[in-house]
Structure 1
Amino acid sequence: MKRQQYSLSTRRKVFIWISIGTLLLLLFAFIYFFTVYQTAMDTKQETFASSETRAIQQTPLVKVTDTKRFNGEAAYDIVYGQTKENEPGYAFIPLQDDIEIIFTLEEEGLSENEMVSKWKADCADCDLMSVVPGIDKGRLLWEIIYKNNQGRIVYEYYLYSNGNLYEQFKFKTEEEELK
């Protein structure tokens, strides 16, 4: 019985096949995660068009400038827009049919820029991640998500009317866990 002798060329072939297999596995993993991400984002944004239409039909908004999602006790699409008089306002469009649409003009509370300026004064060396108007138990809020100087992800909710702190949640990150 003849046996193939081990040589450098055999070692190279094994290395090449392992490399090709690893690259293919990484390629398939990338494609899979990209597809999952796209599906999640499409699902999140598929309600935006209908919410924008509802906002124009059922609130004083006549022009839409942006739409974002707020997830609290109930999920809302927040439609940013302008009225006939070019006044900026927000329509809180619930994703559940049994909840009323709420509309407010920007001048009835703090604007996003005013709220961010107020927040920066309290947390100068924090990294802002997002700012979204929200609603909790009928109260209009600003949701500010940021990373503080200790590496924690912080969710803070401020009253829309005056910017006073309403609620705060802090989460440990992996960096903090490793310390």
Structure 2
Amino acid sequence: MMRTMKPQSSPFTVPSWLKWSFIIIGALFFLSGALAVWMYVSINKDLHTGEEAAREMALNQTEIATVEKVSIYHGKSKVHIVKGKTQGGKEGLVFIDLSKNEILNEQMNQEIIAEQQLKQSWRADCQNCIYKNIQLGYEEEQPVYEITYVDSQNRYVFDYFNLNGERFNQRFAFKQNQ
């Protein structure tokens, strides 16, 4: 009688279904990571589109000699805001609409209230509010500051001020869902 030998298996042998499960999960993990990186790069590129063109336009067509910061405000249209200094060292702001390739407004050598001063003034008027953000904007053909906050009635508020600190005649308050 012939003896049949039992096949020996190595303790490191993994069943094929488990091996394929790990391969598929690894491939899905890799693909989702690649998609996340691609989305991040794509979105970030869109956020900063036009900043260099706005910087060049401000340097070439205005008194600004050095650019400190370029920000973007999304109002009726996309407005690039270039903050910089003149040759004399005075601060200036340039509001540019790149879609029309025009400078909307220049604020050079004028009294512009600092963001911290405006925030302190606003805080005195709205003590129970939760501050969110302050940024430069452009509304109704005028440069403005936009302050966002949550008021005492739990509304998300966009409040606008002129660059000298006076309240602008525009305010939006949105009721938040609980």
Same fold (TM over 0.5): yes
1:167 maps to what in 2?
Answer: 171
Tell me by how many angstroms 1:109 deviates: 3.1
Residues 80, 96 of structure 2: 8 Å contact kept: yes
Q: What is the rounded CA distance, in whole Å, between the counterparts of 2:84 and 2:53 in structure 1?
A: 15
Displacement of 1:82 after TM fit? 0.5
Q: How far apart are 1:102 and its partner, in Å?
A: 1.1
- The answer to whether the 8 Å contact 1:143/1:157 transfers is yes
The aligned amino acid for 1:50 is A
How far off its partner does 1:62 sit? 0.7
Select the structure of larger CA radius of gyration.
2
Q: Report which of the two has the higher share of strand.
A: 2
Secondary structure, counterpart of 2:59 in structure 1: helix
Task: State whether structure 2 residue 147 is matched by structure 1 residue 144.
Answer: yes
CA contact (8 A) 1:108 1:161 kept: yes
Q: Which of the numbers 73, 78, 82 marks the counterpart of 2:76?
A: 73
Give the direction of change, closer, same or farther, for the CA distance of 1:13–1:164 in structure 2 (3 Å limit): farther
The one-letter amino acid of 1:59's match is T
Find the counterpart in structure 2 of residue 7 from structure 1: none
Instruction: From the superposition, tell whether residues 88 and 25 of structure 1 become closer, same or farther in structure 2 (CA, over 3 Å).
Output: same
| CA RMSD in angstroms, aligned pairs only | 3.2
Aligned length: 164
Does structure 1 residue 155 correspond to structure 2 residue 154? no
Q: 3-state DSSP class of the match of 2:64?
A: coil
- The CA deviation string for residues 41-70 of structure 1, in whole angstroms up to 9 with x for no partner, is 212213111101110111111110011100
Structure 1's 131 and 106: CA in aligned 2 closer, same or farther, altered over 3 A? farther
Aligned to 1:126: 130
Which residue of structure 1 lines up, in the alignment, with residue 45 of structure 2?
A: 42
Aligned pair in 2 of structure 1 residues 15, 126: CA closer, same or farther (>3 Å)? farther
Does the 8 A contact of 2:105 with 2:143 survive in 1?
no
TM-score scaled by length of structure 1: 0.72
Query: Unaligned 5+ residue runs, structure 1?
Result: 1-10
1:87-126 equivalences under 5 Å are 87-97=90-100, 99-105=102-108, 107-121=110-124, 122-123=126-127, 126=130
Residues of 1 paired with 2:77 and 2:105: CA distance?
Answer: 13
Shift of 1:134: 1.0
Please say if residues 52 and 79 of structure 1, whose CA atoms lie closer than 8 Å, have aligned partners that are also in contact. yes
What displacement does 1:22 show? 3.9
Residue in structure 2 matched with residue 83 of structure 1 by the alignment: 86
Tell me, yes or no, if the aligned pair for 2:134 and 2:147 is still in contact at 8 Å.
Answer: yes
Identical positions, percent: 18
Unaligned runs of 5+ in 2: 1-13
User: CA 1:55–1:17 in 2, change beyond 3 Å: closer, same or farther?
Assistant: same
The residue matched to 2:93 in structure 1 has which SS?
Answer: strand
Cα distance between partner residues in 2 of 1:12 and 1:71:
57
